[in-house]
Amino acid sequence: MTQPPAIGHEVLFDVSDHVAVLQFNRPEKRNAISAAMAEALGWAVTQVEQDRDIRVAILASSTAGIFSAGADLAEIARTGGRSLMTADGGFAGFIDAKREKPWIAAVDGPAVGGAFEIALACDMILTTPGSYFGLPEVKRGILAGAGGAFRLPRALPRAIALELLATGEPLNAKRAEAFGLVNRIVDARQLLATARALADNIAANAPLSVTASLSIARQAYDLSVNDLRSLSNELSSLVSESEDASEGPRAFLEKRRPNWKGR
């Protein structure tokens, strides 16, 4: 897959020590998702998933106080929003993309509409004290159709989620943390470093164990207990037969850091 022109411009992409960091980089438009950004994000997701050296991904912004303004309204007016979708990833090339590896959203500033839906599509969210989240689509006569209407009730207590969806009102960082929507609130100056520390903590673990665990957990609301048990048994067998399953106990006994192979 050819690298899109927006990579390195509207979307920054860097990989080091098993962690990929993607940053929105369109501050003049408050990181509103353009067609070029959607293509770039879709490409980046594919790179993260295919590169065995990458174990965790962080989605953030290069500009303090700006996460994303969501969909670029000028492009919606021109194309009806079709240009902001990709065949495999849906809106922003991201919200419907198949992902096995863990993704962390580092949110500084408002995350409303499509921006909130992008964060909800991640596995973990870190944020800053002044940030807030919301799906104001009902105030505009539209629907939070990029996953927000069904992901929000899975991330929040039902009554709170329904209130936010029906009123379109925002949720501040403090309440978001209290309800478990975000993992933690950190100072804006430490946001990316904190996200990186969390990613490093995850990347230090056996990659197959992490992805298998997340595969089960992500389907916890979709499958019956019996189906989840079957899936757990199946993945447990696969992981236990891996090289890493032997490396973990060996490293523990030898009092050294494991050398994970991801196989």
Where in the sequence numbering do the catalytic residues fall? 117, 137
Neighbours of 49 (CB within 10 A): 16
Contact 130, 109 (CB under 8 A): yes
CA dist 153 and 106 (Å) reads 21
Place of tokens 């891996």: 242
Sequence-distant (6+) residues with CB within 8 A of 131 are 67, 107, 108, 109, 110, 111, 172, 173
Tell me how far CA of residue 155 lies from CA of 42, 56, 94, 179, 181, in angstroms.
Answer: 24, 21, 18, 8, 6
Sequence-distant (6+) residues with CB within 8 A of 115 are 31, 67, 68, 69, 70
CA dist 262 and 51 (Å) reads 11
